[in-house]
Structure 1
Amino acid sequence: MAKRVQFRQHGGPEVLEVVEFEPNAPAENEVQVENKAIGINYIDTYVRGGLYPVATLPSGLGTEAAGIVKQVGANVTAVKPGDRVVYAHGALGAYSTLHNVPVDKIAPLPDAISFEQAAASFLKGLTVHYLLRQTYEIQPDEVFLFHAAAGGVGLIACQWAKALGAHLIGTVGSDEKAAIAKSHGAWATINYRQENIAQRVSELTGGKKVRVVYDSVGKDTWEASLDCLQRRGLMVSFGNSSGPVNGVNLAILNQKGSLYVTRPSLQGYVTTREELAHASNELFSMLASGAIKVDVPRQQIFALDEVQQAHKTLESRITQGSCLLIP
């Protein structure tokens, strides 16, 4: 028997339960992975809470983990039993000891990268890759704004921006988080609890503002983000940690300088095995070289049975970087 986390109805962390189940053999083009470390992502709270409702309940949760291949289905040749692998953005159910995953979502994991590093960085690192390298290609010396710079995605973005020679201005919620973001490569930080975001961006750029803003916060930062943009600048809205942006008046984009807005997701950028290989190879190179380091604080590592507390901790917005479940 294996164990997994499931929920029978949408709601708070209390709806999560750990149950035993009999895993099916992997189907054609599937790989069964024995998870060694599981990534916890903010999007998991959207699924659990119903912002992104699931079609069938009870449902598993989570899409990211690293582990060892146990079995492979028919037609699978890319990996074999015993291989170290990592996966993300597949079918729900990664919060488990065993999980069957489509082979197209699987990436071989280099020996130089631990299971914990991989599970803490794969989804977040692929997200940073599509944001900084594809949605808008950040150039050396470019100044840009990135919200929640001390979060799991944000700390990877800080390091990746530094490796590119770019200047990331990161918003944070405390002086402690500002120090952490700067230690990871942020060029400047803005404490949104104490400072006016748009005013500080204008000051930091000599009144020029920025060409692109990356915003995973949503409702609380929407207006401020638009006010940070240059004429014909790009607003990249890729999350809703403060709630979704609703009732947008498109005329405001004209009024604030003929702005562009996009709402991207990883599924729009990594849709084929070739695209996954390209993005994951860039990420693994960054990790192996030390340009990106992923250190998960001990207090953000939870046993599978502690999943409710893990989600409470994540939603408290006091975390720094990534959180993990260890089966």
Structure 2
Amino acid sequence: MDRVVTLLAPGGIEQLQVSEQTPQDPGATEIRIRHDAVGMNFLDIYHRRGLYPLPAYPAVLGVEGSGVVEAVGREVTDLKAGDRVVYAGAPVGAYAATRLLPAARAIRLPDSVPSQVAAASMLKGLTAYMLLTKTYRIEPGTTVLVHAAAGGLGSILVPWAKHLGATVIGTVSSEEKAELAHAYGADHLIVGRDADVVGAVKTVTDNRGVDVAYDGIGGGMLAKSIRAVRPLGVVATIGQAGGPIPPVSVDELRPGKWLTHPSIMAYITDTASYLAAAEAVVAMLASGIAATIAREYALEEAALAQQFLEEGRAAGSLILVP
């Protein structure tokens, strides 16, 4: 019997229940994967709270993982038992020792990429690819603002932006996290939850503002991000770890700033987009640009891990190990 973590209903971590399940036989176009590791994301928190409702309850959370193919459906020809794979995106259901997965979502892992690193990095890497190449194409000389630059996404977004030639301004909540963000390659850091983000950005950019800001904090930070962007620049709001976002007046976007709310889950629903992005991410992982794993938890400790993530204490990514 395998362990699985089930969300009984939207709510707090007390709604997460550990139970046993029998490994299932894959359908014609499915595989069964035995997880080496399961990646954790703030999206899991949104799903648990019901901010992004799931189709039905009880449900199994988790949108990324890595491991070994254990069984394949009769129509699956490009994968076999024993292959190492990673995946991200829908269908949700990674908080389990084994799971069924559409074979089209499975991406082969090169031997040089450890399973734990892949599980911690895949969705964040896909998000970074979307933000850096589709939301606003980063080129040499681009100046970017990355909030939570020492977080799970920041650990990939910052070095990948630097790889593309950008100047990176990062925000962090503490000196400890500033050291991490600096190690990731951030050129300038704004430290402290109450720091004058707009003033610091204006100083660094000679009052011009950044070309693009990536804001996963939400709350009152989005208004600051908008003010920190140059005219005709872009603000991408990608989460609200710091709380709900108050209404934004159209006047805040003067003179001609662009506000966008890209969704990585929507972007990678398209199979061609997913495969192209995944190929780029795996190449980045093989080159050494990957998420930093802050902590590992046993699968049975999923509730404890979610609490730690939700409190904003994680400097890096968290993974569950079945």
Q: Please state which band the TM-score falls in when normalised by the shorter chain.
A: over 0.9
C-alpha displacement of 1:191:
1.6
2:144 paired residue number? 144
Q: What secondary structure, in the 3-state scheme, does the structure 2 residue paired with 1:240 have?
A: coil
Say whether the 8 Å CA contact 2:121–2:290 is kept in structure 1.
no
Provide, for residues 177-224 of structure 1, a one-character-per-residue CA deviation record: whole Å limited to 9, x for no partner.
111101110111112424200000000001110121111111231110
Aligned partner letter, 1:154? G
Matches within 5 A, 1:150-299: 150-253=150-253, 256-290=254-288, 292-297=289-294
Instruction: Give the alignment's TM-score, normalised by structure 1.
Output: 0.94
Cα distance in 2, alignment partners of residues 139 and 192 from structure 1: 29
Number of the residue aligned with 1:326: 321
Q: Which amino acid in 2 is paired with 1:75?
A: E
Measured after TM superposition, the shift of residue 168 of structure 1 is 1.0
Q: TM-score, normalised by structure 2?
A: 0.96
Q: Is the 8 A contact 2:152 2:292 kept in 1?
A: no
Map 1:5-154 to 2 at 5 A: 5-154=5-154
How many angstroms apart in 2 are the aligned matches of 1:205 and 1:124? 27
Distance (Å, rounded) in 2 between the aligned partners of 1:130 and 1:21 = 36
Unaligned ranges ≥5, structure 1: none
Q: Distance in 2 between matches of 1:57 and 1:289?
A: 40
Looking at structure 2, the residues matched to 16 and 133 of structure 1 have their Cα atoms a distance apart, in angstroms, of: 36
Match of 1:305 among 281, 297, 300: 300
Task: Output one character per residue of 1:122-142: Cα deviation in whole Å (capped at 9) or x when no partner.
Answer: 111111011011111111121
Asked if structure 1 preserves the Cα contact closer than 8 Å seen for 2:42 and 2:241, the reply is yes
1:107·1:276 contact (CA, 8 Å) conserved in 2?
no
For residue 178 of structure 2, give the secondary structure of its aligned residue in structure 1. helix
- Whole-angstrom CA distance in 1 between matches of 2:287 and 2:9: 43
Give the secondary structure class of the aligned counterpart of 2:92. Answer: coil
- The size of the alignment, in residue pairs, is 322
8 Å contact from structure 1 (residues 150, 177) kept in 2? yes
Deviations 1:210-248 (A, max 9, x none): 121111111231110110011121111111111232433
| Cα deviations by residue, 1:295-317 (Å, 9 ceiling, x for unpaired) | 423xx100011111101111121
| Cα displacement (A) at 1:294 | 3.7
Structure 2, gaps ≥5 residues long: none
Determine if contact 2:220/2:246 at 8 Å carries over to the other structure: no
Which stretch of the first structure deviates more once superposed, 217-226 or 240-249? Answer: 240-249
Q: Which one-letter code corresponds to 1:296 in the other structure?
A: I
| Aligned-partner SS, 1:152 | coil
Q: CA RMSD in A?
A: 1.4
- The answer on whether the counterparts of 1:83 and 1:108 sit within 8 Å (CA) in structure 2 is yes
Q: Percent identity?
A: 39
Residues 29, 75 of structure 1: 8 Å contact kept: yes
